[in-house]
Amino acid sequence: MALSIPRRINNYWLEDCLGSGYSGSIFRACHIYTGQRVAIKLQNVDHECPTNRYERAFYPMLQGGEGMPTLWAAGVEGIWDFLVIDLLGPSLDSLFRKSGKNKMDLRSVCSIAIQLISRLQIMHTRGVLHRDIQLGNCAIGLSANNKTIYMIDFGFSKQYIDPHTRRHIPDSKAKRDFLGNYWFTSVGVHCKGKVPSRRDDLEAAALMLIHLLTPGGLSWTRNGVPKTDAQHDRIKRDKLTARPEDLCRGIPAEFEEFLRYCRRLKFADCPDYDHWKDEFKELANEHGFSDIDDFVWPPPPPKVKSQITALHQPKPGPAPYNNAPNMEEVLNGLAKLNLKERPVLGDQTNTLVALRKEYGALQKPVKTAVIEISSDSDDSADHPTNIPPPPNRFSKATQLHNLAASAHKATDNRTLSMIVTDFVACLQSTRSRMLTKEGFQFLDTLYKQLADPSVFAVPLRTSRTRSTNQDVFQPPARHVKLGALITLRREVTTAPNNRALAKMVADFGTVTNKSSGRTITKDGIAFLEGLAERLKALN
């Protein structure tokens, strides 16, 4: 092919070849009058897959969108179908491979996530699906634009809005041949032959992000490009059977949630792009990365100092259960704990044994807790000043333990509401929003207070096993099956009573527990805030 390539196409001198794909080659070129440097994509007009012709139709629809290369000229000259576009830098594929690393750092992946979702948002807003999301089709800009990721290769793109009717294209039950790439094309399109829509571009993006964060990449990418049908079938099988929780083990829960979200979308659903951009921005911030809108490669060194500061920054908020005197009161009360006498929201006598077992440790003087808060402790060698430490000196575990104890003693919804508010403040006071064992214990206690506990024989583990008591432990509600924190967040605002709230708390525990990393996301926090509000309203 190289031999017959002309030296000049249109008003451009062709220089070196930047890359070749299945359908053609791409050259660096220079405008003969202005000297402007561009990239020219050349394809033989007789090529069996005339992707340049398709791209020529899509580029104009995408012009002006951030991260969409400018189309400077296009046409046919002799046997050459050509596209003249912005000259860009290397693709993510090339950057990643050249780095020699077996996974990418979280900052870079969050940055790619935000930019990629933005690019898809632009394309989809203009009625176009990409349909070939992969590392090789994301390239960074040159010089001043080298922090921007550009979308390239619209050879497989398609309009999902019918230009005549202005309506979404119809779904179809008929199986279609797969079009896309082996690694990241969605399960629905690749393995089930479904009609692609916006959700599939997003799922491909999710798989690509997970691939980047996984040492060695997604399992089905490790044997290279399949050469036989049997190898291709194996990839499809592996992809189809891989559960999101397994794919995302060891990486932040947001990625698993994003993948699940994409897979839950219905054919014509419009994805909530802004929500997911916010999620990844927040995740990056939680890990101490700022300016995340810019993709910086190689990644800048982490700012250790600011991370440490963030770690110890107490979050302001109502803190009747966080301040030292109240903590002291709570622990003193716990020391004298008499569960039979305490007023409860429901009869909890039959949970007594289990609760004692659960919180037994609290009845003994808990060394660290007593030392930290008691002003008349005789442990003066440890705390010579006898001054209670500020609230943020308590470990997260101690705070959660104490909040569970307070929830256990609560006698009305208003108190529970304040405790939930403090629970949120506690979760937000540290950089990691992972729900720890103590966090799950708090949810258990809260659940028991909200539900009618008389029907329980054992405390409910919101995080783990469920009792066989059919009356209470029904199969997970629809919103749990869908894994919909978003639904929980919405529905909590209208929950009719405590029992409904109890169910939501249990569902929230289950959903969080299922997420690898058990991180409380923005939706999770919003749910808890909504719960506090609702409790106040239902007082």
Contact 156, 132 (CB under 8 A): yes
Q: What distances in angstroms separate CA 290 from CA 111, 205, 362, 402, one per listed residue?
A: 10, 22, 40, 33
Min CB(237)–ligand ATP separation in Å? 25
> Is 315 annotated to bind ligand?
no
Min CB(21)–ligand ATP separation in Å? 2
Sequence-ordered strand ranges (E) for 87-239: 128-129, 138-140, 149-151, 158-159
Contact 128, 62 (CB under 8 A): yes
Element (H, E) at 345: none
Q: What is the phi/psi pair of residue 15, to 5°?
A: -110, -130
**Catalytic residue status for 291:** no
Best CA proximity match to 443, nearest among 509, 395, 535, 355: 509
**Residue nearer to ligand ATP on the CB measure, 13 or 473:** 13
Min CB(156)–ligand ATP separation in Å? 8
Amino acid at the residue 534: R
Amino acid at the residue 146: N
Q: Which residue, judged by CB position, is nearest to ligand ATP in the bound state?
A: 21
The first and second tokens of residue 111, run together, are 């940055």
**Residue nearer to ligand ATP on the CB measure, 137 or 417:** 137
**Residue nearer to ligand ATP on the CB measure, 21 or 476:** 21
CA 158 – CA 189 distance, rounded (Å): 14
Catalytic annotation, pick one of 81, 86, 132, 523? 132
Contact 504, 488 (CB under 8 A): yes
Element (H, E) at 39: strand 37-44
The first and second tokens of residue 456, run together, are 């329980």
Q: Which residues bind ligand ATP (CB under 6 A)?
A: 18-19, 21-24, 26, 39, 51, 69, 85-88, 91, 94, 136-137, 139, 152-153, 155
Sequence-ordered strand ranges (E) for 54-198: 71-77, 80-86, 128-129, 138-140, 149-151, 158-159
CA 273 – CA 113 distance, rounded (Å): 11
Min CB(87)–ligand ATP separation in Å? 5
Min CB(359)–ligand ATP separation in Å? 59
Q: Where is the binding site for ATP, in residues? A: 41
Q: Which residues are catalytic?
A: 132
Q: Where is the binding site, in residues? A: 41
